[in-house]
Amino acid sequence: MQNNKSSFLYPWYVVFVLMLAYTVAFIDRQILSLLIEPIKLDLNISDTQIGLLAGLAFGIFYSIVGIPIAQLADRRSRVGIISVGVALWSFMTALCGLANTYFYLFLTRIGVGVGEAALSPAAYSMITDYFPKDKLGRAIGTYVIGLYLGAGIAMIVGSAVISYVSTLPEIMLPLYGLIKPWQLAFILVSLPGILILILLITVKEPQRGFYDSKSITNEEIPFKKVVQYLWGLRKIFINLIIGVCINGAVIVGYMVWIPEWLRRNLDVSIVDAGIIYGSVLLIFGSIGPFVGGWISDHLLKRGYRDARMRTVYFAAIITVPLAVIMPLASNLTSAIVLLSLVTFFFSIPQGLPPVVLQTISPNKMRAQTIAIFMFFSNILSYAFGATIIALITDLFGYEEALKYSMAITSGLMIPIGCYFIYKTLDPLRNLEY
């Protein structure tokens, strides 16, 4: 058991390792976005079916399995739980590379989601035990940077992998048969999970509740009591869930379809699209969560009790016109500028709703609270975000209509999300925690 104040640097080292784990998780999750065209051709499937692979297959089980895993994380070793998750999602990503039917690929994507479900509930809980409240926004913001690092690296490295494997001769595996380039890409991106497992050996389990005051409890809290507790805070929790989920669906949809948007609407090769979007994610996406954490920490010190969700609200408001205009850009230069701005403002709120939930929840409810939040947010965001855009595109009947699908989705959904986020502010100002 780690003494949480034994070193100034060690807690940040833990955040760094967890951020790397999140990065690898998102690489394995996001690589599909660069492989849409060859998968569609080889498996003879539609945009809507791709949307289901990117969203429903991953998101449903990622959400459902997260709750029982979180119950374990509130009682058992969080480092151990994360390690098992890393091993599972890496193995299932490799199995994606052996898929030769849509059904097989759907099942392996489910497996990736089950493995990744172990990471965030345990990671958020650990980080909360390593940092005081006035530094928690920056710490969790740093962890969330892994999302954008992973997505960016998936795009850039994935582009390089695709470019490389496309030059290789066909590979024959004994007892299996022909391995195609897109299948080999899945296998190669699964390998960094081994490095994460080695690094996790150096991470120590923190003392639970080290920075808590009145919320300390030594009792194991059953799931029913967690639900009752959150129901007592329903003016915050329900509005937060709805607002974050709606906006999250747009973000997930954009992250899945932006490489294809660049290819279909701006005549960019898929390799170049991956490099462009990956660079934007690495630079602007990685800055946003830390900026959001810093702004909200600063507002909290100035006495704004709604600092976290206030930051989320204003970032989302600014995003609305940018996200509508961006897909309609007529040239690559304006598209990249708008894409950079959209990515930055999309990323600012990413770590803040979990900070709110971790702050208002007793210690041994924290992983379960995050899992419930992630259950709803991922059901809506992953199950519907990518699929809604795909369905609208299929309704238009031609691939280039993707730009209209993206603009319509963001223009309708983000303002609704902002309304529900705004409704959390007054209850947070009046809450004692």
Cα–Cα distance for residue pair 166/179, rounded to 1 Å:
11
- Is pLDDT above 70 for 7? no
Of 157 and 302, more confident = 302
Cα–Cα distance for residue pair 240/308, rounded to 1 Å:
11
Cα–Cα distance for residue pair 167/40, rounded to 1 Å:
20
Q: For residue 84, what are the contacts with CB-CB under 8 A and spacing of at least 6?
A: 118
Q: 31-40, 104-113, 116-125: which has the highest mean pLDDT?
A: 104-113
pLDDT band per the 50, 70, 90 thresholds, residue 59: confident
Residue 200: predicted pLDDT: 94
Q: What are phi and psi of 425, to 5 degrees?
A: -65, -50
Closest CA to 361 of 209, 143, 138: 209
Cα–Cα distance for residue pair 96/59, rounded to 1 Å:
16
- Is pLDDT above 80 for 162? no
User: Angle 184-190-192 (CA atoms, 0-180°, nearest 5)?
Assistant: 130
Please tell me what DSSP assigns to residue 179: E
| Mean pLDDT (whole number) for 201-209 | 84
Closest CA to 155 of 40, 57, 248, 33: 33
- Is pLDDT above 90 for 271? no
Which domains does the chain show, CATH number per domain?
9-203+220-429 (1.20.1250.20)
User: Which helix (H) or strand (E) segment is 192 a member of?
Assistant: none
Per-residue burial over 15-38, b if 16 or more Cβ lie within 10 Å, else e, is bbbbbbbbbbbbbbbbbbbbbbeb
Q: 145-154, 285-294, 356-365: which has the highest mean pLDDT?
A: 285-294
Structure tokens at 327: 């897909």
Residue count of the chain: 433
Cα–Cα distance for residue pair 27/255, rounded to 1 Å:
12
Q: What is the pLDDT of residues 319-377, one digit of tens each?
A: 999 999 999 998 999 999 999 999 999 998 887 888 888 788 877 777 778 778 878 88
Cα–Cα distance for residue pair 135/130, rounded to 1 Å:
10
Number of H helices, E strands in the chain: 20, 2
Please tell me what DSSP assigns to residue 34: G
User: Angle 135-137-141 (CA atoms, 0-180°, nearest 5)?
Assistant: 120
Does the predicted model carry a pTM greater than 0.85?
no
Residue 4: predicted pLDDT: 52
Cα–Cα distance for residue pair 13/335, rounded to 1 Å:
37
Q: 104-113, 211-220, 270-279, 383-392: which has the highest mean pLDDT?
A: 104-113
Please tell me what DSSP assigns to residue 306: T
Cα–Cα distance for residue pair 179/172, rounded to 1 Å:
6
Other CB atoms within a 10 A radius of the CB of residue 43 amount to: 18
Give the 3-state DSSP-derived string for 87-141, with helices as H, strands as E and coil as C: HHHHHHHHHHCCCCCHHHHHHHHHHHHHHHCCHHHHHHHHHHHHCCHHHHHHHHH
- Is pLDDT above 90 for 198? yes
